[in-house]
Structure 1
Amino acid sequence: MRKFACVLLTTFAFCGFAQADTQAPVPTDALKKSVALAVDQFVIPAYGQFKGAAESQNDAYARLCSAPSEEALADVQNSFADVVKTFSRIEAFRFGPARDDNRFERLLFWPDPRGRGLQQVQSLLLEKDESATSLETLQQKSVAVQGLLALDFVLFGTGYEAQATPEGAFRCRYGATMAQSVLHISNALYDGWSAPGGYGDLMKSAGPEDVRYKSTGEAMQEFLRAAREQLQILRDTKLMPPLQDSVDTAKPKLAPFWRSDLTLLSMISNVEGIADLVDSWSLENALPADRQYLTEQLALELGMARDALNQTEVSADRTFEGHLSTQEDYDRLTYASLPLTGAITLLTGDVPAALGLIAGFNAMDGD
C-alpha cells in the first residue's frame, strides 16, 4: 500500500528545477501542449469567471448603497459567495500577475493567526475613516483591510445588518470600495494572463531566451508546484487547525470565511480548481505508457477529497461550526485530509518524475 507523507508548511516559497535521473524526459512538444492547454482551457477562463463575479458584486454593492434594503443586502451577500467560489478556484496561482502590486495579498490576507486584519477593519468601522471609502486611498492602506476576509466581516460580522438602512451608510461605502478594489484587481489579473505577450504567452513560449522560464519543463513545474502547494495550504492551514484533536476541542473560527459560512464552499472550490487544472494538462498525452495510471490515480485522490467535503456541506443545514460539532461531519472532514495527502504525494514525486522532472527544493518543507 502506498504510504502518505504529510508535510509541515513553514513558508510559501519554491526554489529550483532539475531533471530526474530515473525517467527519461518527456518530449518537449508534449509538455508544451500540456502547458498551453492549462493556460488556454483553464487559467484564463477561470480568471474570466472571477472577473465576472467581481463585476456582479461591484454592481450589487453600488445598488445597496444607493437604495439600502434587506433585499439589496442579500443580493450583495449572494454575489460575495460567487466571488469567493471563483477566486478559490484560482487561488493556487500566487505567481505571475498575482505577485505584482501585492495583488494576491490584497485579495486574501491569510493566514492571520493574531487577527490583526480583523482589528484593523473594526477600527476603520468604529472611527468611520472616510479614507477607506476611496479606492485610491484604500489601496494605500494595509492589505488586511482591502480583501475578501475584510469583506467577509463587513457583510457578515457584527453590525452588518445596518447596511440595509441609511444608518449603515459608512459601512456600505467601505464595503463598496472594497468591491471596487476586488474588481480592479480581477481586471488586472485577467489582462495580465490573457493579453498578447502576457503571462499566458510567457509560459507557452518558454525557452532558453525566456526571462522567466528557460524550458517548457520549468513552466510545467510552476503549475505542478502551484497545485501541490495549494493542496498543502488547504490541508495544513484551512482544514486541520479548526479540526484540532476532536469534536470537543474543534475551533471552527480558525477557518477562513466562517462568518459567511463559505468555508466549505471555498475548500471545495480549491480542490475543484486543482482537479480542473490537472484535467486541462491532458497528462495521458505526456506521460510514458507505463505511467499512464498516474492520471487516474491523481483524479481519484482529488475526487475523494472533493466528495468528502461535498458530503459534509450537504449533510444537513448546518454552519461550519455545526459541522465540526457533529461527529459524523467531523469524521468526514478528518478523512478529507487523507486523499489530499495522497494527491500532494503524487504531485511532489510520482508525476514530476514520470514527466522527467523532479520537484526540486521546496522551502515549504523547512530548512
Structure 2
Amino acid sequence: MRRALVLVAALWAGTAAAEAPVAAIVEGHVLPGFTRLAEASATLDATADDHCAPEDPALRAAWGAAFDAWIAVSHLRFGPTETGDRAFALAFWPDSRGATPKALAGLIAARDPVVETAEGFATVSIAARGFHALEFLIYDPAFTGDDAAAYRCALVQAMAGDIARIAADILTDWRADYAERMRDAGGNDTYRTPDEAAQELFKAVSTGLQFTSDTRLGRPLGTFDKPRPTRAEAWRSGRSLRHVVMSLDGTRDLALMLAEGHPEAAAALDAAYGRAFAIARDLDDPVFAGVETPEGRFQVEILQQAVDAIRRVVAQDLGPTLGVAAGFNALDGD
C-alpha cells in the first residue's frame, strides 16, 4: 500500500509540474529581465566613458539603473548567471571580511595597469568588480577624494565595461542555448524531465525570498543588543530598502507566473506580497538605520516577518500545487 501511495504521489507531481508554464516564463520573465540588465549595463559602460567622476549625476544615475536591473533578476541564480561566477562578479555581497575596500585600495595604491584591458581586469579579485565595488568608488568618501583621480577614473571605466560584458554574456548564453534547454525540458541532460525545469524556477523564488529575509534584512538587524545598520546592502547609496522591494517585485512576478491556472495559490501569493509591499511603503527608513532603536528595529522585523509569510505561502500553497519543492540551494551550506 505504501509503495502504491508513493507511486501515485510521484505520478501526480510529474503531471502537475508539467503544467507549469516554463516556456512562457522564459519568454515573459527571464529573457526580458536579462535583456534589461544587458541594455542598462551597456548604458552604464557608455556613460562612464565621459562621466567617471564619483559625484557626476549621470554616472550615478546609470549605475543605479543598471543595479536596479540586476536586483530584478538576482533571484535567477542558475544557468548562465552561475557560469564563471558571473553573479558574484556582478554583485559580491555580503562581504563579511571587507574584501572589497581592501582590494580597491590595493589597485589604487599600486596604480595597477590591470585596468587597461578588459582581459586584464577580468582577472582581478571578484571583490573589486561589479556593482558593489563601483558603489565604493562613487559613494564612499574614502575613495572619492582628489587623490589618484585619474587612476580612479580608469578604474570606474574598467568596472563599468566589465559589468556590461558580463551582462551581455549572460543574455547571449540564455538566447543561444539555455532558454531552449528549459523550453525543451525532458529532452536534454540539464533538465531530464519537465518538473526539473519547474523546480528550478520554483527554487529561484524560494531562494530569492530567503536571501531577502536572512541577508538583506537579517544582516542589518543583527541582534537586539548589537544591531548592524552598516551591514545593510548598498547603504552608502541609500538603496537598502529599495533592493528589498525590487527583489520582492522580481520574485512576485515569477511566483504568479508559476501559479498561472491555480487561482487559489495565486490569490494567497498576491495577498502575502501585497502586505509586504504595504509595510515597505510605510517604512521611512531607506537604509535601515532605525534598527538601532527599539521602534525602528520593530518596523524592520515586521517587514522581515512579512517576507517570511510569503515564503510560507510559496512552500505550502505554490509548491504542492506544482508538485515541486525547493530542495537544496546555495544558501543552505554543506
Common fold, TM-score beyond 0.5? yes
Secondary structure in structure 2 of the residue aligned to 1:357: coil
In the alignment, does 2:315 pair up with 1:356? Answer: no
Select which of 259, 265, 271 maps to 1:300: 271
Structure 1 residue 244, shift from structure 2 partner: 2.4
Q: 2:324 is matched by which residue type in structure 1?
A: L
Q: Name the residue aligned to 2:170.
A: 189
Structure 2 residue 307 is the aligned partner of structure 1 residue 340: yes
For 1:271, the aligned partner's letter is L
Query: RMSD between aligned alpha carbons?
Result: 2.6
* 1:126 lines up with 2:115 in the alignment: no
Residue number in structure 2 paired with 1:275: 252
| Change in 2 beyond 3 A, CA 1:319/1:351 | closer
* CA distance in structure 1 between the partners assigned to 2:329 and 2:90 by the alignment: 24
Tell me how far 1:144 sits from its aligned partner: 1.0
Using CA pairs below 8 Å that are at least 6 residues apart, which structure has the higher relative contact order?
A: 1
Relative distance call for 1:181 and 1:255 in structure 2 (3 A) is same
- Larger mean CA deviation between 329-338 and 48-57 belongs to 329-338
- After TM superposition, give the deviation of residue 27 of structure 1 in Å: 4.1
Matched residue, 2:3:
none
SS at match of 1:174: helix
- SS of 2:51's partner is helix
How many percent of aligned residue pairs carry the same amino acid?
25
Provide closer, same or farther for how the CA distance between residues 323 and 78 of structure 1 changes in structure 2, counting only shifts above 3 A: farther
User: Residues 148, 49 of structure 1: CA spacing in aligned structure 2 closer, same or farther, 3 A cutoff?
Assistant: same
Aligned to 1:136: 119
The two structures have a TM-score, normalised by structure 1, of 0.81
Output the CA distance in 1 between the equivalents of 2:65 and 2:222.
29
Q: Output the CA distance in 2 between the equivalents of 1:19 and 1:201.
A: 30
- 1:123-272 to 2 correspondences below 5 Å: 123-162=106-145, 168-195=149-176, 198-207=177-186, 209-246=187-224, 249-272=226-249
Instruction: Map Cα deviations across residues 266-299 of structure 1 (whole Å, 9 max, x no partner).
Output: 1211111101112233x241x4xxxx32211112
Q: State the Cα distance separating 1:364 from its structure 2 match.
A: 4.5
Q: Write the distance in 2 (CA, Å) between the matches of 1:19 and 1:337.
A: 38
Counterpart-to-counterpart distance in 1, 2:254 and 2:90: 21
The code of the aligned residue for 2:271 comes to: L
Aligned residue identity for 1:183? A
1:190 is displaced (CA, Å) by 1.2
CA distance in 2, matches of 1:297, 1:132: 50
Q: What residue is the counterpart of 1:38 in the other structure?
A: 25
TM superposition shift of 1:159: 4.2
User: Equivalents in 2 of 1:259, 1:129: separation in Å?
Assistant: 25
Instruction: Kindly indicate whether the alpha-carbon contact (under 8 Å) linking 2:16 and 2:321 is maintained by their aligned counterparts in 1.
Output: no
Q: CA deviation at 1:326?
A: 5.9
Preserved CA contact (<8 Å) 1:20 1:358: no
Q: Partners in 2 of 1:140 and 1:328 — Cα distance?
A: 45
CA apart distance, 1:20: 8.3
CA distance in 2, matches of 1:363, 1:238: 16
Which residue pairs with 1:95 in the alignment?
78
Contact 1:61 1:175 in 2 (8 A): yes
Instruction: Describe the SS at the equivalent of 2:141.
Output: coil
Letter in 2 for 1:99: E
What is the TM-score with the length of structure 2 in the denominator? 0.89
Residue of structure 1 equivalent to 2:58: 75
Higher mean C-alpha displacement, 354-363 vs 51-60: 354-363
Give the distance between the partners of 1:229 and 1:119, measured in 2 at CA: 29
Partner residue, 1:21 = 9
1:284–1:184: structure 2 CA closer, same or farther, 3 Å change rule? closer
Distance 1:363 1:53, change over 3 A: closer
Q: Report if aligned partners of 1:135, 1:181 keep a CA contact under 8 Å in 2.
A: yes
The aligned amino acid for 1:342 is A
> Which residue in the other structure is 2:281 paired with?
310
State the number of aligned residues: 329
Which whole-Å CA distance do the structure 1 matches of 2:286 and 2:16 have between them?
48
Q: In structure 2, what is the Cα distance between the partners aligned to 1:226 and 1:321?
A: 25
Aligned partner of 2:98: which letter? G
Superimposed CA distance per residue, residues 72-111 of structure 1 (whole angstroms, 9 cap, x where no aligned partner): x111111111111110010011110011121111111122
User: 1:56 offset after TM fit, Å?
Assistant: 1.6
* 2:244 partner SS: helix
For structure 2, which runs of at least 5 residues remain unmatched after alignment?
Answer: 1-5
Pair 1:321–1:298, CA change in 2 (3 A): closer
Task: Output the CA distance in 1 between the equivalents of 2:305 and 2:88.
Answer: 28
Per-residue displacement from partner, 1:177-197 (whole Å, max 9, x unpaired)? Answer: 1000000011111111123xx
Match of 1:331 in 2: 298
Q: 1:284 to 1:54 in 2, by over 3 A?
A: closer
d(CA) in 2 for partners of 1:120 and 1:277? 36
Distance 1:245 1:310, change over 3 A: same
Q: Shift in Å at residue 365 of structure 1?
A: 4.6
